[in-house]
């Protein structure tokens, strides 16, 4: 931001052109009898060429309605793709945990576990497997946090195929057909 | 604080969210500077709280929720539709891009931007203001 370049301005204009084309779009919230939190988390492993830091994102649904989302660069450099994905999972689980706390305060506590979908098998495996691997020691805090949530039954981490990983939209550029499919899955529609 | 004397309690999750709960009666109140969003389990409870608030503060009941923090709320048969059309138009106006060609996705699939490649932009202030507004 302190010294923007022409390539950044081009990207910004591209974004504004997208915004221009979606001026009538918005988020639809519908009444729902389901009280289930579902989280999709994803990380882009290829990331930023300067810092080698990755982008991670999540989308959180409550009873089928999108209630929370995030897209941000991870604060640390990661060493493996599982580590990157795991950081993203921990980030999504932390937000879901805040939402559960909020719902409890609203006197609508959730009975079911939060379902966390991630497209990385290793990250799913790490959420339940108590064996500590040398290469994952850098995600230790995240690992314990997620495992604690899983152990007390507040969260379950499950695998989702990349084709249904809606959080992809928050981490990388997508082809327009996938982009519009994921966008409508987030209930972002033309009014 | 006045809300607490009405029987509201501040939540731990969000310092701007207050909850009223007595027996089966529940009300949620969101307070943001001088904007309030209030919902209650029944119409009489809602009216009672509004009257109490009006006795203490000079405030106007704007009826059903339409705007909050720059987000417009439209009530549809299928639910609520939230959008930022006006805010979006203001940004495009500032960028002079009201009549630009629309694009189907916000970012290129190959886009990997480097912080220090290429020439600096001529007007970094406008760049920062637009990027900040998004």
How are the residues of chain A apportioned to helix, strand and coil, as percentages rounded to the nearest 5? 45, 25, 30
Quote the pLDDT of residue B2: 86
Where is pLDDT greater, at A77 or A165?
A165
Whether A5 maps to a domain, the answer reads no
Whether A3 maps to a domain, the answer reads no
Whether A95 maps to a domain, the answer reads yes
Q: Which residues of A touch B67 (CB under 8 A)?
A: none
For the CA atoms of chain A, what is the radius of gyration? 18
Helix axis angle, A6-21 to B124-133, nearest 10°:
40
For residue A40, which of A108, A103, A79, A95 has the smallest C-alpha distance? A95
Q: List pLDDT tens digits, range B120-133.
A: 888 888 888 888 88
Exposed / middle / buried, residue A91 (Cβ in 10 Å: 0-12, 13-18, 19+): buried
| Architecture per CATH, B2-63 | 2-Layer Sandwich (3.30)
| H or E segment to which residue B124 belongs | helix B124-133
Interface touch A46/B113, C-beta < 8 Å = no
- Say whether residue B133 is in contact with chain A using an 8 A CB cutoff: no
For residue A67, which of A37, A104, A32, A41 has the smallest C-alpha distance? A37
- 3-state DSSP assignment of residue B83: strand
Average pLDDT, chain B: 90
Q: List pLDDT tens digits, range A63-111.
A: 999 999 999 887 777 677 777 888 889 899 999 999 999 999 998 999 9
Tokens of B36: 């309030």
Whether A90 maps to a domain, the answer reads yes
Whether A4 maps to a domain, the answer reads no
Tokens of B31: 């307070």
Interface touch B88/A8, C-beta < 8 Å = no
Domain extent for A165: 27-190
Whether A127 maps to a domain, the answer reads yes
| H or E segment to which residue B80 belongs | strand B79-83
Tally of structural domains, chain A: 1
Whether A12 maps to a domain, the answer reads no
User: Domain with A44 in it: what CATH number?
Assistant: 3.30.420.10
Residue-range domain boundaries for chain B: 2-63, 71-99+123-134
């Amino acid at each position: 931001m302190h010294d923007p370049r022409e390539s950044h301005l081009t990207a910004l204009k591209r974004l504004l052109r997208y915004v221009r084309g979606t001026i009538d779009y918005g988020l639809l919230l519908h009444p729902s009898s389901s009280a289930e939190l579902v989280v999709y988390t994803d990380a882009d492993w290829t990331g930023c060429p300067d810092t080698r830091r990755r982008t991670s994102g999540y989308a959180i649904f409550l009873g089928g309605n999108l209630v929370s989302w995030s897209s941000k660069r991870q604060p640390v450099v990661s060493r493996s793709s599982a580590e990157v994905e795991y950081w993203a999972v921990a980030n999504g689980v932390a937000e879901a945990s805040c939402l559960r706390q909020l719902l409890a305060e609203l006197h609508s506590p959730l009975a079911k576990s939060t379902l966390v979908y991630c497209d990385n098998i290793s990250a799913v495996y790490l959420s339940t497997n108590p064996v500590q691997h040398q290469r994952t020691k850098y995600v230790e805090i995240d690992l314990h946090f997620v495992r604690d949530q899983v152990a007390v039954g507040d969260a379950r981490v499950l695998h989702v195929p990349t084709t249904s990983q809606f959080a992809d939209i928050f981490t990388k550029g997508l082809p327009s057909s996938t982009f519009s499919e994921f966008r409508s899955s987030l209930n972002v529609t033309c009014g | 604080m006045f809300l607490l004397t009405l029987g509201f309690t501040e939540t731990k999750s969000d310092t701007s969210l207050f909850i009223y709960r007595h027996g089966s009666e529940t009300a949620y109140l969101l307070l943001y500077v001088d904007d309030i969003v209030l919902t209650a389990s029944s119409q009489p409870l809602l009216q009672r709280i509004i009257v109490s608030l009006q006795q203490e503060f000079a405030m106007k009941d704007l009826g059903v929720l339409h705007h909050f923090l720059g987000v417009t709320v439209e009530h549809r048969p299928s639910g609520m539709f939230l959008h930022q059309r006006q805010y979006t138009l203001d940004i495009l106006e500032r960028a002079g891009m009201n009549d630009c060609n629309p694009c189907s996705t916000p970012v290129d699939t190959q886009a990997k931007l480097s912080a220090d490649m290429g020439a600096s932009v001529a007007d970094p202030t406008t760049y920062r203001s637009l990027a900040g507004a998004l």
